[in-house]
Structure 1
Amino acid sequence: MSRLHVVSGKGGTGKTTVAAALALALATEGRRTLLVEVEGRQGIAQVFETEALPYEERKIAVAPGPRPGGAAHSAPADGGGRRAGGEVYALAIDAERALLDYLQMFYKLGGAGRALKKLGAIDFATTIAPGLRDVLLTGKACEAVRRKDKRGRFVYDAVVMDAPPTGRITRFLNVNDEVAGLAKIGPIHNQAQAVMRVLKSPETAVHLVTLLEEMPVQETVDGIAELRAAGLPVGGVVINMTRPEVLDTGEVDIAANGARRGIAEALAEAGLRGGRRGAAGVRWADGLIDPLLEEAREHAQRVDLERAEHAELTGLDLPTYELELLPEGVDLAGLYRLARDLRKQGPI
């Protein structure tokens, strides 16, 4: 079972929301998860409606525990100090702070490292060497995956990374190639190798978030091909913001063909018969037909497009998960709802 879940997706597909819901879903039944942000957008704080995250691991949510029969509830702490419902911690990784940790870990610079930061050397290093920045960001997440407590248990049962968009995800994760031009040997090289051992192992799964729209689906298909070519483990595809089909297949066909008679009969059955005329001399029931037909045609076109895109995604032979569009937006209650939906669809 994967312990590092990397969540990517085209911008605007809701990957941060999906990453947060996944962290909650994985934290049920007393588990502890870490939700990691690497882009400096404070998106996690916004989703959980909390203050900006510092560069430290902080508990931000408690996942619901299962009732007998499957319903969720909050349960008391177990003997190991964890709530039966599980906990979600979050960390916003800062490349400069991560480099200071790295310098302290390998070179014991201490105050000298802080002096370098004041001089701007840390920012300079992470800016001119983007490969180094990726090593630091991915390395911090991989360290959390491997970390154990004094009893030899993993501190986190799962780590979820809100990663860069699909167009950059393969290069971001393939840090071994990025660092090849920076260092052939030494601590940086060794760190990159250690990171890649985690990223290319069964412990890791890269999930892609998409919408049932042409561009996000195409970017998802291309991203999966790039990940596979790089030897990075692809997890599943999360189809986000799905909308219900308000018409069945036969009704969609009728709508697409613009059947005025069918609409008129349906209005009549609903009691909307045209018996009087409005100011323009048009019977009021007749005046409803054209707008309804136009709306029905648009719905039919959308359904047809979404079915085609859905078929392309399912043809990738990967686990597929679907999350519905929440018309009222994603607040905390909605986030827990999405987490529950992910759990219902099986392990991810």
Structure 2
Amino acid sequence: MTDWPQVRLHVVTGKGGTGKSTVAAALALALATQGRNVLLCEVEGRQGIARMFDVDPLPFAERRLTTGLPDADGEPGVVHALHVDPEAALLEYLSLYYKLGRAGRALDRFGVIEFATTIAPGVRDVLLTGKVFEAVQRNSRNKGAIQYDAVVLDAPPTGRIVQFLNVSNELAGLAKVGPVKSQSDTMMTLFRSPRTAVHLVTVLEEMPVQETADGIAELRAADLPVGGVVVNQVRPRDLTPEQLATLDAGTVAGELAEAGLDETQVDAVVTDLLLGGHEHAERRALEAAQRAIVDALDVPAYELPRLPQGVDLGALYELAGLLRDQGLA
């Protein structure tokens, strides 16, 4: 059973380097079960989805990407992908709402659209989030479009997530009335509703955990719905606390001798093993302190392991299974 049965829009954010794009992709695979259609969106222009799934760079169009995580109770669903580009989103907006097909393309040739999205960053975010909103809440203007059961957004980093989602506030000085203001207000009804959850990705290090705590506080202050915290890249716990506490040269040498190493071999490796063991103990202590901070955030927490071999498609399915088993999907 999922912890988020009402959520249609899963926003995934996190400090750079924590693996938020990987978590977003794994979450989309986990949600695409029992024949459900899921859309995985990115808005940062890095073509991260294409690289993770080893496909050609994505255009500004929804594309079938892969099947979802197999489910014992039914057929897997389908994951679609969308790379949202602000200029293309504005052209689509002009075409859908103002019937400016050729005229919009002419504006694009003259560079007007790039100029508009550059001088008004708030407008740029409205266009990016507007396309995500449209995918969640399809209407009759977009005839024949796929109806998605869930949308996963690989969002900007934690430090910018409130500004990115709080589009009404960003537009306050630009548009006080009119269709753009009306659209931004409508989008906020979704972003602040139980149908949206903002999940934060962190690793067990001081700066990412602190940024996660700050991000949760900022989201709550802006009345944006906080989802769960995904603790990513968790290292294996090879030694128990008791083993770490009794780690000394005599113990290690004795166990190596019992394993069949002669005295010269034991002397050669004991120092390196002790150094590695003490470094592991220090790392475990740091992670334990940061995990305690995460536990005190009063939000559901999920853990994903560190994958030394890197993340390929098989690893994404493995991570998706772990997210589903823990209740995120």
Match of residue 63 from structure 2: 58
- Distance in 2, matches of 1:136 and 1:203, equals 20
Residue 127, structure 1, aligned to residue 132, structure 2: no
TM-fit CA distance, 1:287: 2.3
* Structure 2 counterparts to residues 229-268 of structure 1, below 5 A: 229-255=221-247, 259-268=248-257
Larger Rg computed on CA atoms: 1
Match of residue 46 from structure 1: 51
**Which of the numbers 169, 193, 215 marks the counterpart of 1:177?**
169
Higher relative contact order (CA 8 A, sep 6+): 2
Match of residue 289 from structure 2: 308
* Structure 2 counterparts to residues 62-141 of structure 1, below 5 A: 62-67=67-72, 84-141=75-132
CA deviation profile, 1:299-343 (whole Å, cap 9, x unmatched): 000011111111110111111111111121111111111111111
- Distance in 1, matches of 2:208 and 2:197, equals 20
Q: TM-score, normalised by structure 1?
A: 0.89
Q: Is the 8 A contact 2:192 2:224 kept in 1?
A: yes
- Distance in 1, matches of 2:22 and 2:31, equals 14
Residue 323, structure 1, aligned to residue 304, structure 2: yes
- Distance in 2, matches of 1:130 and 1:95, equals 10
Question: Which blocks of at least 5 consecutive residues in structure 2 are unaligned?
Answer: 1-5
Residue 216, structure 1, aligned to residue 197, structure 2: no
Q: TM-score, normalised by structure 2?
A: 0.94
- Distance in 2, matches of 1:180 and 1:133, equals 14
Q: How many residues align?
A: 323
Evaluate the alpha carbon distance shift between residue 146 and residue 14 of structure 1 in structure 2; reply closer, same or farther with a 3 A threshold.
same
TM-fit CA distance, 1:64: 3.4
Match of residue 196 from structure 2: 204
Question: Which blocks of at least 5 consecutive residues in structure 1 are unaligned?
Answer: 69-82, 275-282
**Which of the numbers 264, 270, 278 marks the counterpart of 1:297?**
278
Q: Is the 8 A contact 1:212 1:239 kept in 2?
A: yes
TM-fit CA distance, 1:154: 8.0
- Distance in 1, matches of 2:9 and 2:136, equals 7
Query: Identity of aligned pairs, percent?
Result: 58
What SS does the corresponding residue of 1:284 show, helix, strand or coil?
helix
Q: Is the 8 A contact 2:10 2:152 kept in 1?
A: yes
TM-fit CA distance, 1:241: 1.0
What SS does the corresponding residue of 1:180 show, helix, strand or coil?
coil
Match of residue 31 from structure 2: 26
Match of residue 219 from structure 2: 227
